[in-house]
Amino acid sequence: MPKLNQIIAVEKGVKSKSLQELTQAHHDLQKPALLAGISRTYQPKDEEGEQLPPESTRVQAKAEDILRTTAATLTRLFDVTATKDWANRTASADVVVDGTVLLAQVPVPYLLFLEKQLTDLHTFVRKLPMLDASESWNLDPSTDSWKTDPVRTIRTKKVPRNHVKAEATEKHPAQVEVYYEDIPVGYWTTVKFSGALPARRVNDLLDRVEKLQQAVKYAREEANSTEVTDQRVGDAVFGYLFR
């Protein structure tokens, strides 16, 4: 008996071949010249008249023949697809992570759904915001967020000062240069808060997603190794349609 993974392997080729042959059959049926034939013979009015050879064109395509060929082609496609879909109703496997069955007897279509969702989740988790590694963070229960230790900085204010470059004389006024001096006037105490995640948490989440992705792939491979029973539905369908 064939296995489900073998049926899946040939399904794509059967679909492609069926599509090509169905397309060709459709095109042939749209060409009246292929379906038409003719036979002509010439007879002059009298024995002395010009003799012309007979003319004929053979019918190159018959609609009934094309119907039979199309039915045969599509019967194979219908049977392969039915065999896969019938098997998918019963083929299943456990999703096992670290030796523990996380999901039991999961059918193949749902395993395929899980694979797609986990791929999207992996992208989502990989882009989660992480705390700035240059800061030291602690969890603050009162705000349920992360915060840094208080950092105290001085606040200064520029105060103008006069610098006498030359004293005043009887002939010249004093030469004074104005400059500004930073004078401490207070202190800022800064605490930063963040709703991002520690890198360790993000990496742990990524590890979990990747483990589950691997487990789902293993389960799908196991489910696809299930033996299948060939289904024969094409004959019934086309026996009705084209009889």
Our measurement of the distance from residue 166's CA atom to the centroid of its chain's CA atoms, rounded to an integer in Å, reads 80
* Domain ranges for the chain: 1-91+236-243, 150-190
pLDDT tens by residue, 53-66 = 888 888 777 878 88
pLDDT tens by residue, 163-204 = 877 777 777 787 878 888 999 989 999 999 999 999 999 999
Task: Record the tokens describing residue 184, joined without a space.
Answer: 């401490």
> Is the pLDDT score of 67 beyond 90?
no
What is the C-alpha to C-alpha distance for residues 169 and 172, in angstroms, rounded to an integer?
5
Phi and psi at residue 89, to the nearest 5°:
-70, -25
Q: Which of helix, strand or coil describes residue 196?
A: coil
Whether the CB-CB separation of 120 and 240 falls below 8 Å is answered with no
Contact residues for 68 (Cβ-Cβ < 8 A; gap 6+): 242
pLDDT tens by residue, 22-59 = 888 888 878 887 778 888 887 888 877 888 888 888 87
Q: How confident is the model at residue 150 (pLDDT cuts 50, 70, 90)?
A: very high
Contact residues for 79 (Cβ-Cβ < 8 A; gap 6+): 230, 231, 232, 233, 234
- First-to-last CA distance in the chain? 31
Q: Output the CA angle 2-5-108, nearest 5 degrees.
A: 120
Q: What is the pTM of this model?
A: 0.67
Name the CA radius of gyration of the chain, rounded: 43
Task: Record the tokens describing residue 137, joined without a space.
Answer: 């963070």
**Closest among 228, 190, 217, 218 to 80, alpha carbons compared:** 228
Residue 101: predicted pLDDT: 96
Query: Residue-wise over 215-230: b if at least 16 C-beta within 10 A, else e?
Result: bbebbbebbbebebee
Most confident of 53-62, 67-76, 79-88, 190-199: 190-199
Contact residues for 185 (Cβ-Cβ < 8 A; gap 6+): 155, 156, 157
Compute the mean pLDDT over every residue in the chain, rounded to the nearest whole number. 89
The mean pLDDT value for 83-96 works out to 90
The mean pLDDT value for 8-19 works out to 88
Whether the CB-CB separation of 132 and 198 falls below 8 Å is answered with no
Residue 90: predicted pLDDT: 86
Whether the CB-CB separation of 14 and 78 falls below 8 Å is answered with no
What is the C-alpha to C-alpha distance for residues 196 and 129, in angstroms, rounded to an integer?
5
The mean pLDDT value for 136-154 works out to 92
